Structure 1
Amino acid sequence: MQEVSLPRLVEPLRSGGLADSVFQVAEQTPEFVQFSRRSERQPDEWYPVTAAEFRDEVLAAAKGFIASGIRFGDRVALMSRTRYEWTLLTYALWAIGARVVPVYPTSSSEQVRWILDDTQAAAIVVEHEDHAMTVGAICGSVPRLAHMWQLDSGGVRRLVEAGQDVPDDAVTRRRAAVQPQHIAAIPYTSGTTGRPRGCLLTHANLAAECDTLIAGWRELTAEPGEEPSILTFLPVAHCYGIMVVVSCLRGGVRLGHQPDMTPAALLAALDSFRPTFLFAVPYIFEKIFQRARLAAAEAGKLAVFDKAADVAARYAEALERQAFGKGHGPGPALRMQHALYEHAVYARIRAVLGGRVRYAVSGGSTLRRRLGLFFAGAGITVYEGYGLTETSAAVTAQPVHRVRFGTVGKPMPGNTVHIALDGEVWVRGDVVFLGYLNNREATDQVLRDGWLATGDVGYLDADGYLVITGRKKDIIITSGGKSVAPLVLEEQLREDPMVSQCLVVGDNQPYVAALVTLDPQAVANWRKLMGKPQASPEAMTDDDDLRALIQRTVSRVNTGVSRAESIRAFRILPQEFSASNGLMTPSLKLRRSAIVSAFKREIDDLYARNR
């Protein structure tokens, strides 16, 4: 199968912009609780913000922007983590026809300078003093930047005070002038290679994305009788995070914000907020699984947990076969085993997410099939999707109640997926962006007669489900001429609970090798069980027993591929790849070229030793 297309589920946005929904909901259902905000005094308590209250705050901030000289069509940068004020100011800017430029809060001065210069931003909102200093270091080289507001020092309050004398009608007139084809946001690609590019997303693009999700998948956001609620913690500088916010406001879903994505802070927020639905990335599901397994090991119940995980996966796989007419579902013995672990294991997994989540979405990168099966068997079905910044987030998704784990689903209604002759995935639909800001050459490389060439490689199975096998530019060509997709090998290696990350290498080399990082908690627990003293990360990489453990995993993975594709050598690295050390993007994707450059000596040594 080379192409799949699904008709639209919703009509395209015919008039107006994204801010209109805020005013419409406030007029129709003013007491609807649109947000829950965390109490500053009691972090585990949340207080409501109604639709009418939010509308009034948006209006007041919008008037402040007008008073400060922000004009229709101006570009304003927002450099902040995921917090209520980001959503408030984004909608205030959209209400006056301005264009939002999201900036990752971890960006360097040079990255910020590039984005502000590329967009010719008129103003920037920053979160705290460190961000203000980052901007201050480069403001002399971006002369159009006229204003900066700092959230943690009363920035919103000062905006509101500045706009007190601006009439409401000044906002109303500007909002009425916004049209669907106007630019709403210019998020920048994560930049796994080269300089980030600004993607021109219109109000119509984001509305098509979010309205389709609401119409087709809303029933999953809460159990019958419950009010849907979502805690968003995904970076709002990423299109995925923007999509979550806009979907909640257009779909009538209560929204909370969590700025800190560290496991301890996130789990505490999930416990107090108790969402009914979850948008996340594979990293989150992997960490939840790993922490649960470690807790079981520390309690001396690792064998029980591993058995429960296996039962969950087999149970979900039987249900999957049944959904596609290829089986009768779990048999009596499997159902009995599954029920045995419900209270001891599965209920505790659900409790980690607040206890009410039954369905979730994973995006941003590939979720391993085995992990998806485990969560489904534990009572949380994870719907995987696929998309890019250039497609306003998801362009494919798992159909409701017909999840095929290990795939990224079918085209969302209104979109078409086509597999080119070289295996590249091409897409078309209302969600596809206008192009890259100030970069016609790059735009022409990816937009071809209405199609977006994604740069990803994959295939459509017999039922039209898309499977992503890697990035076109990441395909390894060994010196023997063999093409190897590294993503498949990397995913299989990461199924080992000890393995945190891995990068497969081998371009122009005689064979494939891998760089492996380990989960620190898993290693510490293993050393404890083995009666070994704790050691530094550097010392642990030379542990013969640990290396033998990873070698067994590598050997297992190699049994599923040809000799030419097998991993002949590996190196355990002392530290994990992260955004802070520049080896991952802010959206938690590996920066392959940066990793290869940073560990050139180790890679060279892998091949020198085996020649």
Structure 2
Amino acid sequence: MLFDTLALALEQNDSALQTETETLAGSAVLARAGELATKLERQGVRRLGILLDNGADWAIADLAALQAGIAAVPIPGFFTPAQRRHLTEDAALDAILAAAPLPGLTAGNRTACGYLHRLTPPASVSLPEGTAKITYTSGTTGEPKGVCLSQDNMLAVARALQTATTPLKVRRHLCLLPLAVLLENIAGLYVPWLSGACVTLLPMSDLGIRGAAGADPAAMLGTLTQWQPHSLILVPALLPVILAGRQQGLPDSYRCLALGGGRTAASLQQRARALRLPLYEGYGLSEAASVVAFNHPGAERPGSVGRPLPHVEVSIGPNGDVRVRGNRFLGYLGEAAPEDDGWLDTGDRGHIDADGYLVIDGRRKNTIVTAMGRNLAPEWLEAELCDLPDVDQAFVYGDESIGIQALVVSRQQDPRALQRALDDRLPDYARLTNLHITTRPFTRERGELTANGRLRRAVLTRRIKEASWDFSTA
């Protein structure tokens, strides 16, 4: 089991966890986790929401839940209040651990890791047997969905990544992403601990991270220069910051820069390698407990996301669909376990080259993956735009490189005003990069709409490419 394996490694680690104020041996981390686990068990907690910033308290709470056999539910700090409420009700949480008393809830019991608020779930939602963690993505429609994972699911990924990264001799990892993100939780916490390394945990504000929308490069580079980590996990939006630091000649100690969470422009990766940055791209999804394929020393190919790790199989369907088998999640929260042949449809298109490297060619569906690794459906934002009084029609598109773009049919002549009105409704990771206005409606005659009025995305994308960016009179 994951906890037993981590405990064995932590007992031998004299410097397992580092924060702004302290350095803890693994034995001290385990002792604090044990105290919290006992308190949680005595209070009968079965589903624990963790609403904490990156720090020792988050890591200790996560370990305590593993030790006590409690389903841990990380609550991303970048979720909106509405999304947090949905998560709390959807997961039927009976407790939330937070850094401060939460408004609207009864006063929490003070613990060494924060305030423990007890809740009365509105209804019991059954969990698949063995659920140790329920991880919520940002939700392609704005309503997050819970993925149920076992300790064995997470341990399989952690062991595979530990083996793959051993040649890099990483001794210091700094968590740049929130620990509520499954990739950082497993690859940034469990993997270093299994390797006997030290994990540095700092508040997200110290790292220059602003929600899920972006980062302050100067603040981030200042922190990285101060702490000199050997390894980082990056999403596409953070790679330019690392490039800027190397180009400025700032000192660094990088041995492993793991890149995932979305497609990164090939030109950026080429620049990184030209600057001799140790960049290793990978690929995964929550339903497979995070990482599925990974470039690593002795098995790397630029342009690919690496070979599948040994704990899973990857196959390509007849239409280029990427499918994964092995280490499959237990099921979605509140839904029956799927009955199929064991192959998980990722929703991506790709191919495997002659040497076994996986190349992701694109997404089969319309889902937009932002540069910060968040997934969202354009239909969600289109509906929000069309709900504004001055918007008749809306088309949203984008990717990691150009951000989230919108073309709207509107009588409003000020695109910034429309964009501000929309932003007020959205979490920061879903806010538009650019909004453009046209007075020419989308029509069936021009092939922009289907017979039942749905958008023909390929046609609209072509219209945008063929027109100038000034749509005010288009």
SS at match of 1:19: helix
The answer to whether the 8 A contact 1:427-1:452 is kept is yes
- Supply the AA of the counterpart residue of 2:354: A
Alpha-carbon separation, structure 2, partners of 1:94 and 1:602: 54
Name which of 277, 283, 306 aligns with 1:380.
277
Q: Does 2:450 correspond to 1:450?
A: no
Alpha-carbon separation, structure 1, partners of 2:424 and 2:36: 33
The answer to whether the 8 A contact 1:346-1:379 is kept is no
The answer to whether the 8 A contact 2:49-2:74 is kept is yes
Quote the residue 1:113 is aligned against: 85
Quote the residue 1:501 is aligned against: 403
The 1:65/1:234 distance shift into structure 2, 3 A limit, reads same
Q: Does 2:48 correspond to 1:76?
A: yes
- Supply the AA of the counterpart residue of 1:127: A
- Supply the AA of the counterpart residue of 1:204: D
Alpha-carbon separation, structure 2, partners of 1:366 and 1:573: 31
Q: Does 2:184 correspond to 1:241?
A: yes
- Supply the AA of the counterpart residue of 1:199: V
- Supply the AA of the counterpart residue of 1:390: E
The 1:201/1:158 distance shift into structure 2, 3 A limit, reads closer
- Supply the AA of the counterpart residue of 1:235: P
Quote the residue 1:513 is aligned against: none
Alpha-carbon separation, structure 2, partners of 1:363 and 1:149: 38
- Supply the AA of the counterpart residue of 2:177: L
Percent identity, aligned pairs only, is 26
SS at match of 1:200: strand
The 1:149/1:602 distance shift into structure 2, 3 A limit, reads farther
Deviations 1:118-177 (A, max 9, x none): 221110012335xx12xx2xx5xxxxxx88457xxx653777xxxxxxxxxxxxxxxxxx
Alpha-carbon separation, structure 2, partners of 1:604 and 1:285: 39
SS at match of 2:139: coil
TM-score calculated relative to the size of structure 1: 0.58
SS at match of 1:241: helix
Deviation at 1:233, TM superposition (A): 2.3
Q: Does 2:370 correspond to 1:474?
A: no
SS at match of 2:29: helix
Deviation at 1:418, TM superposition (A): 1.4
The 1:425/1:602 distance shift into structure 2, 3 A limit, reads farther
SS at match of 1:33: coil
- Supply the AA of the counterpart residue of 2:100: H
Quote the residue 1:437 is aligned against: 333
Alpha-carbon separation, structure 1, partners of 2:200 and 2:44: 31
Quote the residue 1:309 is aligned against: none
Superposition pairs of residues 90-109 of structure 1, within 5 angstroms: 90-109=62-81
Deviations 1:460-498 (A, max 9, x none): 23333222232222289xxxxxxxxx77xx56xx4xxxx
Quote the residue 2:5 is aligned against: 21
Higher strand share: 2
Quote the residue 2:159 is aligned against: 211
The 1:196/1:600 distance shift into structure 2, 3 A limit, reads farther
The 1:25/1:409 distance shift into structure 2, 3 A limit, reads closer
TM-score calculated relative to the size of structure 2: 0.73
Quote the residue 2:258 is aligned against: 361
Deviation at 1:66, TM superposition (A): 2.3
Deviation at 1:375, TM superposition (A): 1.4
- Supply the AA of the counterpart residue of 1:200: C
The 1:582/1:504 distance shift into structure 2, 3 A limit, reads closer
Structure ID, larger Rg: 1
Alpha-carbon separation, structure 2, partners of 1:123 and 1:21: 26
Deviation at 1:236, TM superposition (A): 1.7
- Supply the AA of the counterpart residue of 1:62: A
- Supply the AA of the counterpart residue of 1:156: C
The answer to whether the 8 A contact 1:124-1:149 is kept is no
Structure 2 residue runs of 5 or longer lacking an equivalent are 117-127, 209-215, 369-396, 442-463
Deviation at 1:371, TM superposition (A): 1.3
Quote the residue 1:272 is aligned against: 226
The 1:57/1:470 distance shift into structure 2, 3 A limit, reads same
Deviations 1:505-542 (A, max 9, x none): 79xx9xxxxxxxxxxxxxxxxxxxxxxxxxxxxxxx9x
- Supply the AA of the counterpart residue of 1:385: G
Quote the residue 1:88 is aligned against: 60
SS at match of 1:248: helix
Alpha-carbon separation, structure 2, partners of 1:595 and 1:374: 27
Name which of 24, 29, 32 aligns with 1:57.
32
Deviations 1:348-381 (A, max 9, x none): 15x2xxx110321011111222211211221212
Quote the residue 2:19 is aligned against: 37
Name which of 300, 305, 310 aligns with 1:413.
310
CA RMSD in angstroms comes to 3.7
Q: Does 2:173 correspond to 1:230?
A: yes
Alpha-carbon separation, structure 2, partners of 1:595 and 1:457: 26
Deviation at 1:427, TM superposition (A): 0.7
Deviation at 1:255, TM superposition (A): 0.4
SS at match of 1:212: helix
Deviation at 1:286, TM superposition (A): 2.0
Superposition pairs of residues 246-325 of structure 1, within 5 angstroms: 246-260=190-204, 261-262=207-208, 263=216, 264-289=218-243, 291=244
Quote the residue 2:95 is aligned against: 123
Deviation at 1:240, TM superposition (A): 0.8
The answer to whether the 8 A contact 2:324-2:345 is kept is yes
The answer to whether the 8 A contact 2:419-2:432 is kept is no
The 1:575/1:203 distance shift into structure 2, 3 A limit, reads same
The answer to whether the 8 A contact 2:294-2:309 is kept is yes
Alpha-carbon separation, structure 2, partners of 1:468 and 1:505: 28
The 1:51/1:580 distance shift into structure 2, 3 A limit, reads farther
- Supply the AA of the counterpart residue of 2:229: P
The answer to whether the 8 A contact 1:26-1:52 is kept is yes
The answer to whether the 8 A contact 1:181-1:204 is kept is no
Alpha-carbon separation, structure 1, partners of 2:39 and 2:439: 55
The answer to whether the 8 A contact 2:406-2:432 is kept is no
SS at match of 2:319: coil
- Supply the AA of the counterpart residue of 1:100: A
The 1:373/1:600 distance shift into structure 2, 3 A limit, reads closer
Deviation at 1:406, TM superposition (A): 2.4
